[in-house]
Amino acid sequence: MPELAIDGGPEAAADLEVPEWPQVNESSRRYVEECLESGRWCRTTTDGDGFCDRLEAAFADYHDADHAIAVSNGTTAIELALRACGVQPGDEVIVPSYSFIASASAIPCVGAVPRFVDTDVETYNIDPDHLEEVITEKTVGIVGVHFAGYPMDMDRLLPIVEENDLFLIEDSAHAQGSEWRGEKIGTFGDFGTFSFQESKSLPSGEGGIVTTDDPVLADRARTMANIGRRQGETGYYFYYLASNRRLSELQAGLALGQLETLDEENRIREAREELLLEELESIDGIETKPRDDRITARGYCIENFRYDSAAFGGLSRDRFIEALRAEGVPVSDGYEMPLYRQPAFFRNEVGRFLPTGTEIPDYPNHHLPGAEEICETNVTYSHRLLLAEEEGIRAVGAAIRKIQDNVDELLE
């Protein structure tokens, strides 16, 4: 009689109940209702009373940042930060090779060339050992990603940024609430960029925000986000050729309410993650991210571990995921390929955004071993899993051990 659920056996994690997401808290519901009744759904003025104003003030205070500018989504937040940093056509900007495409696609969208740097297989972040290899005389900045909410090594990254006179944009879409040495992520670079897309831990359906301590960058970004018009000015005067990147008042009210419960939810996630790590770290062939005392708080969007097929009799990663899902654990393989292998980065596509004659790297023939190893070994789970009850979390470890103990069923 088969033991594994994929072969008809009982589910090891049948008691694992992963909450639906997003969840509506009372503050979000109340703020949206207030906005609906006010008749002020679009941000057309800055008087401190609108929900966009209130969200910006609360978000800046939460991050101990001087300025926050609410925008329509996390992708446009990166584009806005790049433009505000003064990126010019033909400039080069360094970006991780393993991330969601927006981290890199924003770069050619402002006329610059993405330069991919390898990814550290343990942290899934930029590998500082390889960063200076990709800096050229055309490099003007870095879009760094705090992948899965696990902060980049700022102790190593910031000196490289300063020594080479580069700007740093922290893509913090995954890192709502993460801290490095007691300081919130998104406050170390020239800009921090965040996403409120509904899968994130601070959701408003769509939406985003940028943070900065630089008043000049803040004024530039705020104006560029408002079609080139300075917020608070009357009349039709436009100072930049820019798009409308404004967040709606309705979405701002929703995000403001979600911000009020973020820390409480993150405390639950951190506690559940600690339980899960106890399970995963005891299983041969499952490699979790290193514990780092400099990371003083974790935000989550997704989380990952690496799978070593040798410890499972040679069972492929994809077959392992299939078996684990059958046991009742919602996991996936994450991003299937490094960013430089995406069709969007083939020459004929990237070149449409760049000045004629710009030298474009041969992206399809890049070989960055760290990123490629992650694509072959990664297993991803959502922050939603970390809101499950303790018994369900422990069942994840039981499900993996069950597969390992009965792997012969899958190898026959």
Q: What is the CA radius of gyration of the chain?
A: 22
Q: Which is nearest to 52 in space by CA: 204, 218, 164, 238?
A: 204
Active site residue 200: yes
What lies within 8 Å, CB to CB, of 42 at 6+ separation is: 246, 248, 249
Task: Please state at what angle helix 74-84 crosses helix 102-109, rounded to 10 degrees.
Answer: 40
User: What is the number of other CB atoms lying within 10 angstroms of the CB of residue 267?
Assistant: 12
Annotated active-site residue in 184, 200, 289, 402: 200
* Joined tokens for residue 374: 């992650």
Residue type, position 392, single letter: G
* Residues 2-38 as b or e (16 or more Cβ within 10 Å = b): eebbbeebebbbeebebeeebeebebbeebbeebeee
Separation of CA 222 from chain center = 22
CB 370 within 8 A of CB 116: no
How many other C-beta atoms can be found within 10 angstroms of the C-beta atom of residue 284? 10
**Residue 373 burial (CB < 10 Å; 0-12/13-18/19+)?**
middle
Q: Which residues are catalytic?
A: 200
